[in-house]
Amino acid sequence: MNNLRNYFILAAIGLAAVSFTSCSKDDPVPEIDQEEYDGTILTFTEGHYHGEEFHASGDTVQVRFIKGSDKPYPSHLHLHAGEQYQLDIAMLKNGEDTSAEFEENEHQWFFLGAPDGVLDYTYSDNRVGFKGVFTVNKATSEGFDLQLILRHGLDKAKAASLSWNSTNYQEAGGSDDFNKSFELHPVEGDHDHEEGE
């Protein structure tokens, strides 16, 4: 009788173990996408370098994108010729900046569309682009569309990824995490009309 009872106990334990294993195997844990975002903010801070340190000394302006909309706010931005601007890009999820979750070996920002000689850009974060500095070399008579591209999964050793304004960036592989534009108008210091005009 005791043997029969022990047999049933062992069978129940075995069945519970098999059921537990099946359950955990059949119910995959959902993968969390660390790179999801619902908004993007570009912050341009006017300033200058003291040695290797950038010091803010002028205006701070922003361009905002909301995921699901191609229209930035404002849609037209002025930067002053002869000035430098630190650019900080924040990728937001539920109001929190998640930019640190975009791995630097797999991501890079590119900035396309500026006429020759108008802008220079220097990456400040190991050629990723969430932080960098634009130099506005000269004013333009009208604005132009500055295209902002965040590339994911590219080979950063390839020549196509070595320049911030590489028009053949796609040859480095990968895919776009972000690809939008806004109108940038480099102006002389005394130029004065409203952003968005």
Per-residue confidence at 54, pLDDT binned at 50, 70, 90?
confident
196: closest CA among 40, 62, 44?
62
Report the first-to-last Cα separation within the chain, whole angstroms: 92
- Please tell me the distance from the alpha carbon of residue 45 to that of residue 194, in angstroms, as a whole number: 18
- Other beta carbons within 10 angstroms of residue 99's beta carbon come to 19
pLDDT of residue 87 exceeding 50: yes
Percent of the chain residues topping a pLDDT of 90: 66
| Span of 57-71, 140-154, 174-188 with lowest mean pLDDT | 57-71
Number of H helices, E strands in the chain: 1, 10
User: Which amino acid belongs to residue 149?
Assistant: I
Per-residue confidence at 89, pLDDT binned at 50, 70, 90?
very high
Q: What is the mean pLDDT of the chain?
A: 83
Average pLDDT over residues 79-103: 94
- Please tell me the distance from the alpha carbon of residue 77 to that of residue 146, in angstroms, as a whole number: 10
- Please tell me the distance from the alpha carbon of residue 76 to that of residue 84, in angstroms, as a whole number: 18
User: Which amino acid belongs to residue 130?
Assistant: F
Residue of higher predicted confidence among 194 and 77: 77
Question: What pLDDT is attached to residue 58?
Answer: 85
Q: Are 154 and 161 in contact (CB under 8 A)?
A: yes
| Span of 23-32, 35-44, 135-144, 176-185 with lowest mean pLDDT | 23-32
